[in-house]
Structure 1
Amino acid sequence: MKKILLFILFLSGQNILAQSVEENYPTDPASEQQAGIPKGEVLKFTFENSKIFPGTWREYWVYVPAQYKADKPACVYVNQDGIQWKAPTVFDNLIHKGEMPVTIGVFVMHGKVRAIDPDAALDRFNRSFEFDGLGENYAHFILDEILPEVEKQKTSDGRAIKLSKNGNDRAIGGSSSGAVCAFTAAWERPDAFSRVFSAIGTYVGLRGADRYPTLIRKYEPKPLRIYLQDGSNDLNIYAGDWWMANQTMLRALNFAGYEVNHKWGAGGHNGKQGTAIFPEAMRYLWKDWPAEVKLGVSQNQVLSAVLVEGQGWDEVGAGLKFTDGLTSNNSGEVFFQGVLGKSYKSIPDGKLETVEIQTKNTSAIKFDKKGNRYEANKKTRSIIKYNSGKKQSIATNIVADDLTIAFNGNMYVSVSEGKENSSTIYLIRQDGEKMLADKGLRLAKGLALSPDQSLLYVTESTSHWVWVYQILADGTLAYKQKYGYLHVPDTEENAGARAITCDREGRIYVATNSGVQVMDQTGRVNAILPTPNGYVSNLVFGGKEFDYLFVTANGKVYRRKLNTHGANNWDKPNKPAAPKL
């Protein structure tokens, strides 16, 4: 027993020594004040009128370099947790030597809601909520509240402060949770911040930042340049292992093709090495400026397979205010709804035409292999078939959210009765027989058939699942299963899955709050395609070869050429290659 206790004490001593390792780093000359170098000015302010983080009070500092002239907007560096890294001195030296552009530094403290009676109660500390969480909130806070507030100020000699609005002219950084916050702001808004400094970053399980390495590998790359720093004796506690997490981030960023540099040390959770390498990090982040940070090429096999180099999202029909209800016919023409039921058609060459289809009360439109149009009408609670202008009632007393018609003529219809009630899937046979196929999903929305038409995929908007059913020989459904696992944004309670479609290789494309999530045949999200305008409400393949993916996103329609082809419901069933397991 005595030997065991001695061994435990020995291990404890080793751990203490590891955590308190001596850290000696060379001092970069740029971190020291140099004779004859013009010094910038540091101004201090407070801010307490946030609408994004209501009730919070905080301090912030603004560094203005001596070289700044008010007739030209300056580049911007935003740092979380106030002034760190001897940043004003570093900026003085690097700007003077031309190693970084004329840059105004904005150093922001996290907010707190001050106690009504500080003698009786603590302030509410907002740091983790603001810094550790994923999503756009903090980026909006900086862009919409802090930077406009900075531009209201003036230097002591009366110069107006003007900040560049170009993301290529902006960098953001921080340490620990502040590093996560900086990365998140750039990740969510790469148009606003293109350069990130991350020291001892908290990419662990506090508020979701442990998901970043996975998301980085799946998302289409963004135009970001990143510098990472950490030490092998960083924290290893209940939320995770900081040292391993930062290495995992580096591997993910390299895999995804990002321009990334790093400096590892043996230090703990402190700012010693971060301060030592801050000048080096700034030189790296600002190198070649004003050349833009370039997009990298990911090693993600699905992104490589489906994306066409140089082909991004193109807006279809600029100026439209509300769009939804995407569908395509067997000629590759894509139809969608506009304001007050007005309908549009994008013909294969991408041009837009107005068509005379009244869709004010239409919830879904689909075509069959003969080109017949089927409309689900909410007002008349019916599904109508249009054949050369002739109307035929297919089903009554049904308010469909979506429908799809198989090659053999069987129709599947989703009907949702609100979040609190079970949704219903109906099978409508060619002879008009309507039968219950399944019940129990919550807000069942989109329907899609696999390329071989042996499976029916159904999205559930209230969860992160895509459900799957096997289609039996008589058209009925069996073996219901939660199949596709979708990613959920930090700001949402669910993935918001809506429309769904497949390509001929069996990949599954889902319209979600995160963009287009692309699953393999086994239900695993392999890739995520963000859109220029946020969440995706609908999607469909169109164009002459069905190699354009059309999406509706926040009222706009976009299309993108892909290196694949849509599997249409009217196509003869086609068995794709087996997935890699």
Structure 2
Amino acid sequence: MKPIFLTFLFLATNSAFSQIENYPTPPEAIRQENVAKGKLIQGTYRGSRIFPGTVRDYAVYVPDQYDGSTPASLMVFQDGMSYCQENRGTRAHIVFDNLIAKGEMPVTIAVFINPGVVPANHPDKAEARYNRSFEYDGLGDAYPRFLIEEFLPFIEKEHDLKISENPDHRGICGSSSGAIAAFTSAWERPDSFRRVYSMIGTYVGLRGGSIYLDLIRKTEPKPLRIFLQDGSNDNNIYGGDWWMANQSMQRSLEWAGYEVNHVWGKGRHNRKHGDSIFPDAMRWLWKSKTVSVHPSRSNSRASEYLIPGEDWKVLTAGHQWAEGMAFAPDGSLFFTDVPASKLYKISPSGEQSLIDADTGKTNGLAIGPDGLIYGASPAAKEIRTWDPATGERKTIFSGATSNDIVVRHDGHIYFTNPVEKKVHHLAAGSLNHSIVETKLERPNGIGLSADQSLLFVADFTGRFIYSYQINEDGSLKNRQKYFHAHLPDDGPGALDGMTVTANGMPLVATELGIQIFDQPGRVQLIIPRPKPEDKRTNYVAFGGPDRKTLYVATAGTIYTRKVNLKGADPLSPTKPPKPGL
């Protein structure tokens, strides 16, 4: 009887799945009388620099309503050729014909693109290299840059099309790994894509995609509109549980205040359900002309730490590599252009002037209790000071390269030396030199706690900022790998310049942007780079008359932004409140 029962159970289960997976073709995916038919053009793309050697098929749908006089909206489909079959699957081009004709979505060009394949040199002896997981499951900006910098410009030129550059006019779609590629493209480049349809998305641990469940909650919300679809019988394998991951994505997005919609079903890992609701998903994604952030419905720390409507403003630009921002008591900002060996001052009224044109490529700066500007000059292998009033320069220490520097209220000086993997100490008053750390791979950014009882040192190549207690004589003890930063997918954390709030929260410039930590060492919020095309954030400081303006350096540019945080006074340490543990 037992084998019969098992056979019955198996047949019943298959029958149930058969019913679950029986989704009707939506009427919008069927050709309608009196509806103009758009063109579908096919081609092959080669020549990518970002994914060298790849070859990929593509198709372009051009609606009948497009006349070339006005740039069209855009929708990009990953695994694209499967979305534009005439008699099966999504039939996206047919859906677009019908929805555009009814005015339920704008005049939209659709680009259907397959993942790249690197053909084998000898097909009879070797297999090709298939780039799908590499391009789609991988995080970071490589795939969105491929679309934005290479493929879409090629499409416009090759087929004489005008595609809107307004990100509100651009959407992206995918299924499974194609879905996470679509989300990553919008996440990395909301200046190019703001509408996302994700079917059975692979937000699991194949190539780190599960980190989105955290990053969405911790990153300043972006202007995105996302439609999620999945089924309860989706994959549950070595890489993760797709069904649970998609539900967690929905919860993270809603918690952070995103405009998100979802439809859950019972299907397996296929597009049957997602295809059946595709027209409804398009209607919802294109329901309004603009996509915006709604801070009022967000639980993100951004609602607490940032000011709605306040965005980044350029303070100064055109530098080779701006660094070392430090503020004098009168509110003047001093900063360096490292490769140019220049030291600049920006007065409280905004006037910029040159203080020194030969700084020894000074990097980090700090204001000492004596009012002098202290600088780490790696090319000269010196620690220097400048009088902010006269610009007079003096050398107070020589013999070691350096990167960043901090000066305590009592005169103790600390500076990092990434070349020799050291942290140096110059004692208050005597300037007696000692080496207080030798075990970090690349010590870079350096800072103090709000009460100046702790020294913080960032390891540039890793993910940790180390914390040390400072003894009365300035020596260090009780070293801990304390603050845990988030890393980009394809490189070091680039943990660099840092500052601290009056209530004890360190802010650190990193590859991902400004990471704000609580006192126990956890990231509370990530503020992305002011512009996607900026190089990494490399320095951060508080300034302004109330120390409530954030200053951020991104190589050639320094930006400012008013925030709901207040910087600690470097000349007047204050005990912060006990943190929540």
Name the TM-score, length of structure 2 as normaliser: 0.93
Structure 2: where are the runs of 5+ without partners?
84-89
1:554 partner letter: A
What SS does the aligned partner of 1:363 have? coil
What SS does the aligned partner of 1:448 have? strand
1:397 partner letter: G
CA contact (8 A) 2:540 2:552 kept: yes
CA contact (8 A) 2:201 2:230 kept: yes
Deviates more, 1:384-393 or 1:110-119: 384-393
After superposition, what is the alpha-carbon deviation per residue over 1:459-479, rounded to whole angstroms, capped at 9, x for unaligned? 010111100001123321111
Task: Give, in angstroms, the shift of residue 12 of structure 1.
Answer: 7.5
Give the whole-Å Cα distance in 2 for the aligned partners of 1:173 and 1:119.
35
Give the whole-Å Cα distance in 1 for the aligned partners of 2:8 and 2:578.
55
In the superposition, relative to structure 1, how do residues 167 and 264 fare at CA in structure 2: closer, same or farther (>3 Å)? same
Give the whole-Å Cα distance in 1 for the aligned partners of 2:60 and 2:472.
70
Alignment match, 2:243: 243
Q: Once superposed, what is the RMSD of the aligned Cα atoms? A: 2.2
What SS does the aligned partner of 1:254 have? helix
1:486 partner letter: A
Task: Give, in angstroms, the shift of residue 205 of structure 1.
Answer: 0.4
Deviates more, 1:292-301 or 1:521-530: 292-301
Alignment match, 1:431: 430
Deviates more, 1:358-367 or 1:209-218: 358-367
Alignment match, 1:407: 409
Give the whole-Å Cα distance in 1 for the aligned partners of 2:313 and 2:331.
17
Alignment match, 1:108: 113
In the superposition, relative to structure 1, how do residues 7 and 221 fare at CA in structure 2: closer, same or farther (>3 Å)? farther
After superposition, what is the alpha-carbon deviation per residue over 1:501-556, rounded to whole angstroms, capped at 9, x for unaligned? 10101111001000000111011111000122241111111111111111111311
2:432 partner letter: E
Alignment match, 1:396: 398
Task: Give, in angstroms, the shift of residue 188 of structure 1.
Answer: 0.6
After superposition, what is the alpha-carbon deviation per residue over 1:165-211, rounded to whole angstroms, capped at 9, x for unaligned? 11111110010000000000111110101100100000000111111
Alignment match, 1:345: 345
How does 1:213-362 map onto structure 2 within 5 Å?
Answer: 213-289=213-289, 292-297=290-295, 299-300=298-299, 302-338=301-337, 340-349=340-349, 351-358=350-357, 359-362=359-362
Q: Percent identity?
A: 43
Alignment match, 1:157: none
What SS does the aligned partner of 1:340 have? coil
CA contact (8 A) 1:547 1:564 kept: yes
Does residue 1:162 correspond to 2:199, yes or no?
Answer: no
After superposition, what is the alpha-carbon deviation per residue over 1:407-459, rounded to whole angstroms, capped at 9, x for unaligned? 12211222222xxx532332423222222222211211111111111111100
Give the whole-Å Cα distance in 1 for the aligned partners of 2:441 and 2:10.
52
Task: Give, in angstroms, the shift of residue 293 of structure 1.
Answer: 0.4
Give the whole-Å Cα distance in 1 for the aligned partners of 2:352 and 2:408.
28
Give the whole-Å Cα distance in 1 for the aligned partners of 2:369 and 2:11.
75
Alignment match, 1:447: 446
Alignment match, 1:580: 580
Give the whole-Å Cα distance in 1 for the aligned partners of 2:68 and 2:355.
55
Residue 68 of structure 2 is aligned with which of 56, 67, 70?
Answer: 70
Task: Give, in angstroms, the shift of residue 18 of structure 1.
Answer: 6.9
How does 1:499-578 map onto structure 2 within 5 Å?
Answer: 499-531=497-529, 532=531, 533-571=534-572, 573-578=573-578
Alignment match, 1:96: 101
Does residue 1:184 correspond to 2:184, yes or no?
Answer: yes
Deviates more, 1:294-303 or 1:82-91: 294-303
Give the whole-Å Cα distance in 2 for the aligned partners of 1:364 and 1:219.
27
Alignment match, 1:46: 44
1:491 partner letter: D
Does residue 1:35 correspond to 2:40, yes or no?
Answer: no
What SS does the aligned partner of 1:528 have? strand
Give the whole-Å Cα distance in 2 for the aligned partners of 1:149 and 1:116.
26
What SS does the aligned partner of 2:410 have? coil
Give the whole-Å Cα distance in 2 for the aligned partners of 1:520 and 1:536.
20
How does 1:479-494 map onto structure 2 within 5 Å?
Answer: 479-492=478-491, 494=492
Task: Give, in angstroms, the shift of residue 364 of structure 1.
Answer: 2.7
Give the whole-Å Cα distance in 2 for the aligned partners of 1:13 and 1:167.
49
1:108 partner letter: I
In the superposition, relative to structure 1, how do residues 16 and 371 fare at CA in structure 2: closer, same or farther (>3 Å)? farther
Give the whole-Å Cα distance in 2 for the aligned partners of 1:215 and 1:43.
38
After superposition, what is the alpha-carbon deviation per residue over 1:42-64, rounded to whole angstroms, capped at 9, x for unaligned? 11000111111111111000011
Give the whole-Å Cα distance in 2 for the aligned partners of 1:480 and 1:453.
15
1:541 partner letter: F
Deviates more, 1:102-111 or 1:66-75: 66-75
CA contact (8 A) 1:39 1:65 kept: yes
1:433 partner letter: N
Give the whole-Å Cα distance in 2 for the aligned partners of 1:8 and 1:396.
81
CA contact (8 A) 1:333 1:544 kept: no
What SS does the aligned partner of 2:445 have? strand
Give the whole-Å Cα distance in 2 for the aligned partners of 1:485 and 1:141.
31
Give the whole-Å Cα distance in 1 for the aligned partners of 2:9 and 2:425.
65
After superposition, what is the alpha-carbon deviation per residue over 1:72-96, rounded to whole angstroms, capped at 9, x for unaligned? 1111110000242110110000000
CA contact (8 A) 1:461 1:498 kept: yes
Alignment match, 1:363: 363
After superposition, what is the alpha-carbon deviation per residue over 1:297-332, rounded to whole angstroms, capped at 9, x for unaligned? 264453222211211111112444542222222222
Deviates more, 1:295-304 or 1:324-333: 295-304
CA contact (8 A) 1:132 1:181 kept: yes
Give the whole-Å Cα distance in 1 for the aligned partners of 2:519 and 2:422.
24
CA contact (8 A) 2:26 2:277 kept: yes
Deviates more, 1:356-365 or 1:47-56: 356-365
In the superposition, relative to structure 1, how do residues 11 and 542 fare at CA in structure 2: closer, same or farther (>3 Å)? farther
In the superposition, relative to structure 1, how do residues 97 and 357 fare at CA in structure 2: closer, same or farther (>3 Å)? same
Task: Give, in angstroms, the shift of residue 162 of structure 1.
Answer: 1.5
Give the whole-Å Cα distance in 1 for the aligned partners of 2:343 and 2:300.
37
CA contact (8 A) 1:19 1:233 kept: no
Give the whole-Å Cα distance in 2 for the aligned partners of 1:214 and 1:10.
43
What SS does the aligned partner of 1:442 have? coil
After superposition, what is the alpha-carbon deviation per residue over 1:113-150, rounded to whole angstroms, capped at 9, x for unaligned? 11223232221111000100011111111112211221
In the superposition, relative to structure 1, how do residues 505 and 7 fare at CA in structure 2: closer, same or farther (>3 Å)? farther
1:404 partner letter: V
Give the whole-Å Cα distance in 1 for the aligned partners of 2:318 and 2:168.
27
Give the whole-Å Cα distance in 1 for the aligned partners of 2:236 and 2:143.
26
What SS does the aligned partner of 1:210 have? helix
2:405 partner letter: L
CA contact (8 A) 1:324 1:555 kept: no
